[in-house]
Amino acid sequence: MINNHYDYIIIGSGIAGLYTGMLAKELGNVLLLTKGNIEDCNTRYAQGGIAAPIGKDDSPDLHFNDTIAAGAGLSEPEVVRILVEEAADRISDLIHLGVRFDTVEGEISLTREAAHSLPRILHSGGDATGEALETALSQRVRSSPMKILEYCLVTKILVDRGRAHGVRVLDCRTGIIEEFGSDRIILATGGAGRLFKYTTNAEVATGDGVALAYEAGAEISDIEFFQFHPTALRLPGVTPFLISEAVRGEGGILRDVEGHRFMPDYAPEGDLATRDVTARSIVYQMQKTSSERVFLDVTHLPARKVTTRFPQIYRFCLEHGLDITKGLIPVAPAAHYMMGGVKTNSWGETSVPGLFACGETACTGVHGANRLASNSLLEVVVFSKRIVEHDGAGAKSGTGGTMGNPLHSLPARKPLSGAPLPGVVALQTMMWDKVGIVRNGKQLEEAAALLASWQRMLPETTDRPSYELANLVMTGRLMAEAALLRRESRGAHHRQDFPDTSPEWAHHISFRKD
């Protein structure tokens, strides 16, 4: 019997959780759960900005076309249409909530990023957009009446007769386990970037939402599509640090270790090619030059423009002995964004009634096989709003059953003899090597078999590290199996043994637990 009952339970404290909480508190009492403190999330590291078609020469149609093109045939047109049509209103909402976007002579300043046909990226503090959003929202949430429990890890979605009705929670400081009830549970747990050896993600990005939803019986879709950001700072002994897409949008040039500007050799768009093309091109060029990095060159841009437009990047590099106005920035790809995840409809509902998802942990159908730069923050505010709008209108929740995709189960695999007990570092290295930017069937088979064996060997989950490792292994296994099934190359999923895009695979791959 669950005594602690709330109208809404929100899991996660990034922009998805905070924004949804701010809206939901107008309709009922809200419990927000986060496994760290409220500021521990990926949102604050989002540098580039938020895309919206608000410029005088822009339009929802143009933004729609760019998003569909980037998605490589798997973005859902009706969902993308919602995204671009509702964008301007959601920007107004953020301004009302206290987010201050950069302006020029009183008008919001817009910049361009790769694969956008014109400037439509709003930013705040130059390259500190995520931090500005997180700060504005967390301040409002902390002063609101909603209940916030920090350092509380959700370990299970409670399901009864097919419907989600509560959560089981571990207090990471005391070890106490409690259960809380709600008819509306919203996953906003972020991505799974900590699956990989090199990542721009915060330590909290351990695939929790995907693992929780899968165990609860929800569909997981498009999980093979993981975006690797082409330009993360690569310095010995320094944690990978995101060098924003907007640096190339403002005129930055990629060069190899010999000084050659190589991107025109791979793509007609040159340095403004999509992220998947750019990341693979960098990998190939590093192999050609026997190097572990390339360079991003902004020395030809006015120094004042670089320091004012990218103050965070400039300061971080300077702290590590590099003045980017005078020297080249060493970069290489790193895991960045999970485009698949918990499958939802356009109202944020999963296939389990009572369970919703938003933000990076959700697969709305917007991104398809390749996310268009800066669409992620926009997706959050558009579809988080729709979860609460749908509920406020009194609509019946719960889609029930399949959501229209062919469903797969994880295959039974024989345990590998001699497989050692997994640790996070071993997992990250294996995923980077075998399920990374460039894949092939042999390595994916090896990864899937190893992950299945590791899953059987995992120790009992008793604390945050053990739960996070279990969630990473589960999410990694789903990713490897989906990548093995997709026998083609499309968007961010590239297979050496199936290098072409096939019309036979112009559909989603979805998993659901038996």
Hey, which residues are catalytic here? 275
What's the CA dihedral at 89, 90, 91, 96 to 10 degrees?
90
User: Which backbone phi and psi does 242 adopt, to 5 degrees?
Assistant: -60, 130
Number of H helices, E strands in the chain: 14, 24
Residues 6+ apart with CB under 8 A from 504: 488
Q: Cα–Cα distance between 384 and 344 in angstroms, integer? A: 12
How many Cβ atoms sit within 10 Å of the Cβ of residue 181? 17
Max Cα–Cα distance, the chain, nearest Å: 67
Cα–Cα separations (whole angstroms), residue 504 to 95, 337, 408, 427, 488: 44, 26, 17, 32, 9
Residue 107 to residue 344: CA distance in whole angstroms: 35
Q: DSSP string covering 28-56, please?
A: S-EEEE-SS-TT-SSGGG--S-EE---ST
CA atoms within 13 A on the CB side of 78: 3
CA distance 370 to 75: 9
Neighbours of 342 (CB within 10 A): 29
Neighbours of 298 (CB within 10 A): 26
Rounded distance between C-alpha atoms, residue 469 and residue 452, angstroms = 13
Q: Do 406 and 262 form a contact (C-beta atoms < 8 A)?
A: no
Neighbours of 95 (CB within 10 A): 14
Cα 246 to Cα 85: distance, rounded to the nearest angstrom:
24
Distances, alpha carbon 117 to alpha carbons 37, 86, 97, 264, 309, in Å:
39, 19, 29, 18, 20
